[in-house]
Amino acid sequence: MARRKKIYEGKAKILYEGPEPGTIVQYFKDDATAFNAQKKDVIDGKGALNNLLSEYFMSGLNQIGVPTHFIKRLNMREQLVRQVEIIPLEVIVRNYAAGTMSKRLGIEEGTQLPRPIVEYCYKDDSLGDPLVTEEHIAAFGWATQQDMDDILSLALRVNDFMSGVMYGVGIKLVDFKIEIGRVYDGDFQRLIVADEISPDSCRLWDIETGRHLDKDVFRRDLGSLTDAYTEVAMRLGVMPKTSTPVTKPTLIN
């Protein structure tokens, strides 16, 4: 059997060359990292859950006309996606104060913001993904003004979609991060949502109890991360309520 060509290995995913030009296979690992990889663990079942959840969110976005890189899920660990040129920014949308914003501005976690706030961080692990402004982005040529208009519009549409989907299952979307990729269609280029959307990259709080159902469970040692992600998947109907737990090796390809 021919070996696939690995294109890139990150903290939570591996990218392999896809079957057609312009496609990539995205493999979800069980590795969890936090605080710029200073805290690490391997969490059985996390990769499979994020694969299912990212498929659910990305295919929903595709359906409502928000373009994403997602093509199809291949198995419990992998999905086929479009190859993109990643814009070197982490685009963060916040509805409630939490995490670094609460620390930076001294706002109590959970405070509702007057409107969604979009922040940009420069994607560079060695610098700890520093917060940057549109001035930096334009001056250093990471994205044009037109790109920034498109990125803002994509980010707010993803926010509305994700907030609504989560609200429907009793979960508050506190904040999330997305990455944006550039694709070329003939003479045209456009921007699409890339990477993943999962509880690794969102803050999700139960509306009733405030229970954390996201990576803060790992960051802050709040219990079982797979239990939290499984709860999100079950509420969304992504995993049948009676199915074998996703952590059982039988389900993992």
On whether the CB atoms of residues 176 and 165 are closer than 8 A, the answer is no
Q: Which of 59, 62, 83, 100 binds ligand CDP (CB under 6 A)?
A: 100
> What element of type H or E holds 125?
none
Both tokens assigned to 191 = 């921007």
The verdict on 166 binding ligand CDP (CB under 6 A) reads: no
The verdict on 32 binding ligand CDP (CB under 6 A) reads: no
Interactions with ligand CDP, residue window 216-245 (CB under 6 A): none
Provide the minimum distance between the beta carbon of 14 and ligand CDP in the complex, in angstroms, as a whole number.
18
On whether the CB atoms of residues 221 and 205 are closer than 8 A, the answer is no
DSSP reduced 3-state for 57: helix
Q: Alpha helices of the chain — where are they, by DSSP H? A: 46-63, 99-105, 134-139, 145-168, 216-219, 225-235
The verdict on 201 binding ligand CDP (CB under 6 A) reads: yes
Residue number closest to ligand CDP, CB atom: 99
Buried b (16+ CB within 10 A) or exposed e, 24-52: bbbbbbbbbbbeeeeeeeebebbbbbbbb
The verdict on 83 binding ligand CDP (CB under 6 A) reads: no
Binding-residue total with ligand CDP (CB under 6 A): 14
The verdict on 90 binding ligand CDP (CB under 6 A) reads: yes
The verdict on 129 binding ligand CDP (CB under 6 A) reads: yes
> What element of type H or E holds 81?
strand 78-82
Q: Which of 58, 92, 193, 233 binds ligand CDP (CB under 6 A)?
A: 92
Q: Which CB sits closer to ligand CDP, 73 or 215?
A: 215
Interactions with ligand CDP, residue window 169-198 (CB under 6 A): 175-177
Provide the minimum distance between the beta carbon of 197 and ligand CDP in the complex, in angstroms, as a whole number.
10
| Contacts with 61 (C-beta within 8 Å, 6 or more apart), sequence order | 67, 68, 70, 157, 158, 161, 193, 197
Q: Which CB sits closer to ligand CDP, 62 or 100?
A: 100
Note the residues at the interface with ligand CDP (CB under 6 A).
Answer: 90, 92, 98-101, 129, 175-177, 201-203, 215
